[in-house]
Amino acid sequence: MSQIAPTGLGRFVAVFIFLAVIFVGIPDVNAQQPEVSPVTDTGHWWDDAVCYEVFVRSFADSNGDGIGDLNGLTSRLDYLNDGNPATSRDLGVTCIWLMPIFTATSYHGYDVEDYYDIESDYGTSADFTIFLSAAHERGIRVVLDLVLNHTSVKNPWFQSALSDPASPYRDWYIFSEDDPGYPGPWGEDVWHESSVADEFYYGIFWEGMPDLNYRNPEVTAEAEKISRFWLDQGVDGFRLDAIKHLIEDGSTQENTDATHEWLRGYRQFLDREYPEALTIGEIFNAGATSLEPYFPDQLHTYFQFDIASQMLIAPQQGVASGITYVVNEAHEKQPGQPWGIFLTNHDQNRTMTLLEGNVAEAKLAAAALLTLPGIPFIYYGEEIGMTGSKPDERIRTPMQWWVGGGHGFSSVTPWQPFQSDADFVNVFSQEGDPDSLLNYYRALVQLHSDHPALGHGEFLEIDTNASSVLAFIRATDEETILVIINFGGESRSDLKLTFPSGSLMAGEYRLVSLFGEGNAVPLTLTDATTETDFEPGFTFEGQTAYIFSIER
């Protein structure tokens, strides 16, 4: 993909008419650098990845049953990344996280019946092999959602354990003759009455999802067997669902010492046998302090929910301080930036709904997502501003590809109705608009891929004289990037940046614009041991992001 700046898409527009004719008829959418301080050690594929979360059921239907499937996803891969750096119509992501694709009881897949087979709604194992190969050909890594905490009540393991006290699977789950009586972390019932015997079984989420017993080594051995099965096929890693609830200690049902110990062992198993397999954990509502016990020797990374919420609050309130606080706290407690960042995911009201349809605010959130430290994750449809609010089915609605009919998702009525704005919010409507949210995302993802400093570079906050402005440096030994985001609605012609001592070596620098229109004056640092005030000398428009390369 060639770089597209949101303000310089003339070439794209010039060829759009030709591309649109094709699109309508086809349902598929397809210098010398300053010296810097030491940076984070890297060496894994995920250091510079941009990931995209896909709910297969809602992405593309290939067989006309109203349900998205693996073949449909394969047909849309060129939209995500066509594998050709010379093109610019793809989003450019380098990693896909698939929500559960195993045989399951519910539509969402988080109650697994068979960890070794593909959900029949989505296709076959052969379809998955074709998808995986096509993704890898395009340079896209594939991460599977692996639900280890619990199974479905219809899983054969649980059915055997429930019906036969002598079953070899009996100790794979947690049973009690009496109801222990304590509730779950959010006040829910966690002990459920058996349907076949006078006893209770434990399930933290609901009665349809009994928890596995990881105090039993056989269950751990099975988890490793499942992991091997998929990694041996070429899968690139796992997102581990609800991982903080893995092992309970009586009424303490999250973040237990036993959970930490299990995760250390699982990480050692992967490091030994599959050192390039990414693991990212879901620890819902976990900030830097509650994530701290998980580092550095358990999973590779965890989702950072505090940073996520602040990236949405900042554009809404026009104040940058919340972001700097949570990022600095995370950076202090987990050096090396081992976290995943996102705006919203499949469990939360969608970004554009939370931002009440404000595209300018959505662009600012995207700019923060794709420049701040961490592995960025984009929820499918977020790049076009899809809306959706709970219940869960309505935040997981079908992808909106084009105008009218089945909106490019299916030839029949889909499993869930589209959002009411689907005729206006879709990929086709934004393809040729240089100012669209989609093309804004494309430009930022491309920039993230072109500049490793935005992926794994060191983070350094830059003080400003404006509460609405977030400014920071991302730096590697090869490049230094300056990011300035004005979350406020007012323009600033008097912006002053204060570079901390030691942030750059003394010398003359120029700021080369990479994103956003800005021609800054030269930067001179006469003494690297003191703070240096710098006035860029141009007007920073309200609700606008600017990205510069700082060059000697």
How many other CB atoms are there within 10 angstroms of residue 537's CB atom? 13
By DSSP bridging, strand 375-379 and strand 51-54 are parallel
Query: For residue 252, what are the β-bridge partners?
Result: 249
Helix axes 305-317, 359-369, angle to 10 degrees: 140
**CA-to-CA distance for 244 and 262, rounded, in angstroms?**
11
Contact by Cβ (8 Å): 475, 482: no
Contacting residues for 384 by C-beta, under 8 A, at least 6 apart: 400, 425, 426, 427, 430, 436, 437, 438
Cα dist from 163 to 103, 166, 216, whole Å = 22, 9, 19
**CA-to-CA distance for 458 and 343, rounded, in angstroms?**
22
Q: Among the options 69, 282, 382, 479, which is catalytic?
A: 282
Q: Among the options 241, 254, 383, 431, which is catalytic?
A: 241
Rounded CA Rg of the chain: 24
Cα dist from 241 to 38, 147, 149, 278, 441, whole Å = 34, 5, 7, 14, 27
Nearest to 435 by CA among 509, 516, 525, 501: 516
Label residues 477-505 b or e (16+ Cβ within 10 Å = b): eebbbbbbbbbbeeebeebebebeeebbe
> To the nearest 10°, the Cα dihedral for 526, 529, 530, 532?
50
Active site residue 241: yes
Active site residue 121: no
Nearest to 506 by CA among 483, 482, 523: 523
> To the nearest 10°, the Cα dihedral for 153, 159, 165, 171?
-60
**CA-to-CA distance for 322 and 312, rounded, in angstroms?**
10
Label residues 218-257 b or e (16+ Cβ within 10 Å = b): ebbebbeebbeebbeeebbbbbbbbbbbbbbeeeebbbbe
**CA-to-CA distance for 508 and 356, rounded, in angstroms?**
44
* One-letter amino acid for residue 461 of the chain: E
Contacting residues for 100 by C-beta, under 8 A, at least 6 apart: 108, 109, 110, 112, 119, 144, 145, 147, 241
ω into 391 cis (within 30 of 0): yes
Give the tokens for residue 489: 């609605």
Nearest to 280 by CA among 120, 97, 441, 525: 97
| DSSP at 521 | P
Label residues 126-143 b or e (16+ Cβ within 10 Å = b): ebbeebbebbeebbbbbb
**CA-to-CA distance for 67 and 49, rounded, in angstroms?**
29
Show which residues are catalytic: 241, 282
